[in-house]
Chain A
Amino acid sequence: MSDTEATSEFEEGPVADEAEAATAEAQARFGVPATSSRGQQVLHPTRDQLVDLVRTLRDDEGYLVCIDLTAVDYLTYEAPRRLPPDVAPERFEVVVGLLALDTHQRLRLRVQVPADDATCPSLFDVHPGTEGLEREVYDMYGIEFTGHPDLSRILMPEDWDGFPLRKDHPVGAIPVQFKGVQDAR
């Protein structure tokens, strides 16, 4: 099994050229760094650009639906991050998936969020459907969404310590916790 060979096969040939052209076009059009990943278009706005960009995409480009919002903790990521040169990698990344219903296109936004200031502006004012998804990201990663109307834990108990999907939160190393039991932890 040769593992290294397979990695270099991507982004080559005519498909990669096409993706590159589309990326350059997206970069010029939206004014933020763009890349493509496995043929899927990705934009890399900063936290300050995020809300305005999403609003512009909704109003002018037809990306009417915010289909997904999640985050990734890159604390123990060992492979190269493959970000555009002018985007500095940070520990957290908020990933927003947008969908254009009339042109049948998807667009993904990856926003870098530093560990020492784990906040991100909320998309609630643009897409109210992100309310639950942002609560889930807050619950799992502790990223606080500023401007969110009701930021509280959604899946874990209210009194849970820590943020389970962070990479420094171990799997199965915590005794089973029940609400109301004294000295459970």
Chain B
Amino acid sequence: MSTVSSLSSDARRTYEGSQELTPRKGAGAAELMREVGSVLRMSEAEVAALADDQPTEDQTMILNMGPQHPSTHGVLRLMLELEGETVLRSKPVIGYLHTGMEKTGETLTYLQGPTNVTRMDYASPLFNELVFSLATETLLGIDGDIPPRAQWIRMLLCELNRMSSHLLFLATNGLDLGAVSMMLFGWREREETLRLLEMITGLRMNHNFIRPGGVAADLPDGWRDGVLRVLDLCAPRLDEYDELLTGQPIYRARLQGVGVITTDEAIALGATGPILRSTGLPWDLRKDMPYLFYDQIEFAVVVGSYGDAFDRYAIRLNEVRESMAIVRQILDAMPLGDYRIQDRKVTPPPRARIDESMEALIHHFKIFTEGFKVPDGEVYCAVESPRGELGCYMVSDGSAVPYRMHIRGPSFVNVQALPHMLRGGLIADAVAVISSVDPIMGETDR
């Protein structure tokens, strides 16, 4: 691995293409084709006809929104081309939070991996750990042997996490539209679920709790009371949100008909999660391609009908209710048993054995220093995160670290659908549209 020589040869090949919006002068039919034509599957002739009545450069203005704009949920920068107050073209510029987590993932063992991936989508960290663990287990060939209790604990944690993530969305969505009291309420309920997660996993966020082979520890005493307390507390408060926002005329006027996307467009752009469901397509991996024990659970897939920002708000609000219903079923179904696989290859020996057996101590030490080796091969696993399909493509070369670990972040793909949703809308609505996509920049940039 020669560093300098390979770098300089790469440097010569680096194409210093601009990441910014191209000037209007060069944005004729080709640019239109790229932005609307390809998504709508229009012919080039139709696009050319559309391009004829486009404004010239002196009629438009480029406005940078972000990366420090409070409504962009982190460091998303949008370049908007405006004609008056109407948004024409736009381009999301991302990468401000890029920390090379996929590269880092190639240096961490399969046991250390969840610590890394949990920091990607920081609003729903447990899903990252879950998809990483599922991919590792499939590569190991132990995906059918994970104890039922571990699987149910994973489901419990994920649904609690989905609640907290959607509550965060409700809070920030309210804030973006000027409903500041909603921000406080959403944050308050989210904190309750985070407190519960802290009780179970030890940390509010970035839990590193779901690991290859099971979960890190068994549920603590009193977990059932804690879960019930949060469920009882949240149910009436969700009804309060309905009263506060759902029927409120100003709120509806700000969201309805804003950022509309159709099913075909969402599919062409690869958008998943609430964006795809808001168009009326009931696609939810928990239902359609079940993982864990979601096939044993009764729940409804919430869909919208207009594909606008209001539908996406309503879907998330009602998904919190569905998650609460799922959590209640999990409480009834939670079996006794092991919380991690008793395969000595993956799981360290129990603490008590270390006191009496030298071999157990050595084994424990080796698992945590060298890690366990994973058979070579490649696999793609996906789960339904609060934002859409969260996938993990993992390649192993038979060593104790992944050869390649790629996370397909739903936010990354959903953010690319923004120009399409913003086009033709007002700049004041841009905030509502960005908010309705609910991007988490840690995941888009990784």
Q: Is the CB of A129 within 8 A of B10?
A: no
Closest residue of B by beta carbon distance from A132: B416
Give which listed residue, A152, A161, A171, A173, contacts B17 with CB less than 8 A. A152
* Min C-beta distance of A89 to chain B, whole Å: 13
Q: Is the CB of A80 within 8 A of B376?
A: yes
Q: Which residues of A132-154 are within 8 A (CB) of B?
A: 132-133, 136, 140, 142, 144, 149-154
* A-chain residues with CB within 8 Å of residue B38 when the two chains form the complex: 124-125, 128
Tell me if A's interface is mostly helix, strand, loop or mixed: loop
Chain A: residues with Cβ within 8 Å of the partner, total of 67
Q: How far does the alpha carbon of A165 sit from the alpha carbon of B107 in the complex, in Å?
A: 12
The stretch of B47-55, B97-105, B227-235 in contact with A is B97-105
Could you give, for residues 1-44 of chain A, a 1 whenever the CB lies within 8 Å of some chain B CB and a 0 otherwise?
Answer: 11100110110000000000000000000000000011010000
Closest residue of B by beta carbon distance from A152: B17
* A-chain residues with CB within 8 Å of residue B30 when the two chains form the complex: 149
B297 within 8 Å of A (CB atoms): no
Q: A149-B34, A154-B94 in contact; A67/B408 too (CB < 8 A)? A: yes
A-B contact pairs, 15 of them (CB 8 A): A1-B363, A37-B377, A64-B267, A77-B397, A78-B397, A97-B380, A104-B289, A108-B380, A124-B38, A127-B270, A128-B38, A132-B415, A142-B10, A155-B95, A162-B11
Chain A residues proximal to chain B, CB less than 8 Å: 1-3, 6-7, 9-10, 37-38, 40, 64-68, 70, 72-73, 77-80, 82, 95, 97, 101, 104, 106, 108, 124-125, 127-133, 136, 140, 142, 144, 149-171, 173-174
The 10 A-B pairs at the shortest CB distance, nearest first, are namely A129-B270, A152-B17, A79-B376, A161-B11, A162-B10, A132-B416, A155-B95, A128-B38, A7-B375, A149-B34
Chain B residues proximal to chain A, CB less than 8 Å: 1-3, 6-8, 10-11, 13-19, 22, 30-31, 33-34, 38-39, 94-95, 98, 100, 102-104, 106-107, 138-141, 267-272, 281, 283, 288-289, 344-345, 363, 366, 372-373, 375-380, 382, 389, 391, 393, 395-399, 403-404, 406, 408, 412-413, 415-417, 445-446
